Each structure stands twice: as structure tokens, then as C-alpha cells.
Amino acid sequence: MALIEARGLTKEFRIFRRREGVMGAFRDLFQRDYTTLRAVDGIDFVVAEGEMVGYIGANGAGKSTTIKMLTGILVPTAGSVNVNGFIPYKEREKYTRGIGVVFGQRSQLWWDIAVIESFKLLRRIYNVSQEEFKARLKKFDDILEFGSFLHLPVRKLSLGQRMRCDLTAALLHNPAILFLDEPTIGLDVLGKAKIREFLKEINSESKTTVILTTHDLGDIEALCPRVAIIDKGKMLYDGSVDNLYAQWGHDKMEDIVKKIYEGCKPEQYCMIENWGDTHA
């Protein structure tokens, strides 16, 4: 049975377009000009238990919006979504017990208090027993090595240290699914390597399903046998990384992805020269 099953998933945003100038602002008071933006446009996305899927796309392609619908933060405009046996936005309190989420751009830890205090509070929130809590903390510490700054407030941590703590925070309750929205953003090479190693370990040992968005294709190459590519809200490719290479020849992954973002489809073979012409 699929752990994540989304069919025809769509999210539209209404955007209020402000008119220019003083007269425009005055007119806005009485009549607002809305345009509809389709951030995610009827995508199908099915993930089995234990998979590790990379979800990539250019800025504004709809990655984060998809993740927010899968995690129950946003309500889809159309389509169906079922994750871990729940409709995320409907049964939020039950559903979120089984997932972990990391937003690379925001910390979920309390800013002013020691990291360990945040962990303890999360232990309470998810009702994790004391033994499990200690065991997991120790296991995670073996790879992520956060022991030395566990007693510092989050605001004093470096980005790399913070991210390691955020990952721990998302996994303390041993969720079935881990959603990562750009977990390696802004990290140095060593920091990235550590996080990749950790994710691999979690995926193989606890069978945690991982969905990961990233702009760093190194993350995909290191972690994900399967990749989904989205652009302008539409799913352009969803399949194995191996197949991607097979279809496009043995280019570097970065080049393949560039071409896909440029609008080339795997079926219509795009010449590398063509691509070079328009972007020389």
C-alpha cells in the first residue's frame, strides 16, 4: 500500500494586484484586482513505505507548496491526498503525530532557550517515553554530534549546528515520514555530508520514508534513487535517477536538470548544442 498518495493535487492562490499610484491605491479601496496563481497544477505523486524521494524544481516551481499540502499546512484547492492513512489537513492532530518536518529556512526550535529544553518539550508533545528519548538522542548524537552545544540557546548556534538540531527535533518521535524542505541550504561541505550520512542511516535503519526538496543535486545523487521534477506546478519527471540518466545520455545530472527546467521533455530529445546556442 502506498504511504503517500496524491491524485490531481492542485493549489491555487489568489493574488491581490495593487494598482499603481495614488489613484490606483484609491481604486483598490473599492475594487480589488485579483489574479489566480496555480502554484501546483494537478500532480500525481505516489510514494511507497521506506522510499527516499528527491523533489526538485526551480524557485517558485511549487515544491514547497506541495510539501505544505502533504504535511497538512495548506488545504488543496482540488485533488485528493492521503498520507499514512490520513487526509492531512482534516485530521491534523492525529496525522502530525506520524510525521516529522524540517524547513531549512526556519527553525522549529525555541529561539531563546537551550536546545535540550526544546527537545524535552517535544518529548512531551509527542509523548515519547524517557528511555526511547534518551536512546534516540544518543543514537542521533553519534552521527550528528550535537552534544557540545545541547545546552546553548538556539540563537547562538551556527547554521550547520542548528540544522543538525532541527533534524533531531523532527525525528525524536520516530515518525513514519520525514519531510525535508531544503535541509542542506547554506551548509558547508562537511555539514552537508554529515546530514546526508544521517538521513541514509535513518532511512535504512528505521525504514523512515523521506521526501526531500533541494537545490543541491548532490543531495539527490547521494541519497535518492528516485527523483520527481516539478516546474510551473506540473510534474515533469517522476522516476528513478538511473532512468533519468538512461533517457538523457550520460550528462551530468546538473545539465539534465537544467534542460528539463528549460522546458525540454525526455521524449523529445534536446540537443546539447541547441541548448548551448540559446544560452551562450
Q: Which is nearer to another protein, 3 or 43 (CB)?
A: 3
CB 203 within 8 A of CB 50: yes
Q: Which is nearer to another protein, 101 or 223 (CB)?
A: 101
Query: Angle at CA 227, nearest 5°, toward 177 and 58?
Result: 100
**Nearest distance from residue 11's CB to another protein, in Å?**
10
Q: Which is nearer to another protein, 14 or 279 (CB)?
A: 14
The dihedral sign for the CA sequence 90, 95, 99, 101: positive
**Proportion of the chain in helix, strand, coil states, percent, rounded to 5:** 40, 25, 30
**Nearest distance from residue 147's CB to another protein, in Å?**
22
**Nearest distance from residue 43's CB to another protein, in Å?**
19
State whether residue 58 is helix, strand or coil.
Answer: coil
Q: Which is nearer to another protein, 41 or 182 (CB)?
A: 182
CB 205 within 8 A of CB 170: no
Residues lying near another protein in the complex (CB under 8 A) are found at 13, 64, 68, 71-75, 84, 89, 92-94, 96-99, 101, 103, 105-106, 108, 110, 112-113, 117, 121, 124-129, 132, 173-177, 181, 206-209
**Nearest distance from residue 63's CB to another protein, in Å?**
10
Distance CA 84, CA 226 (A): 20
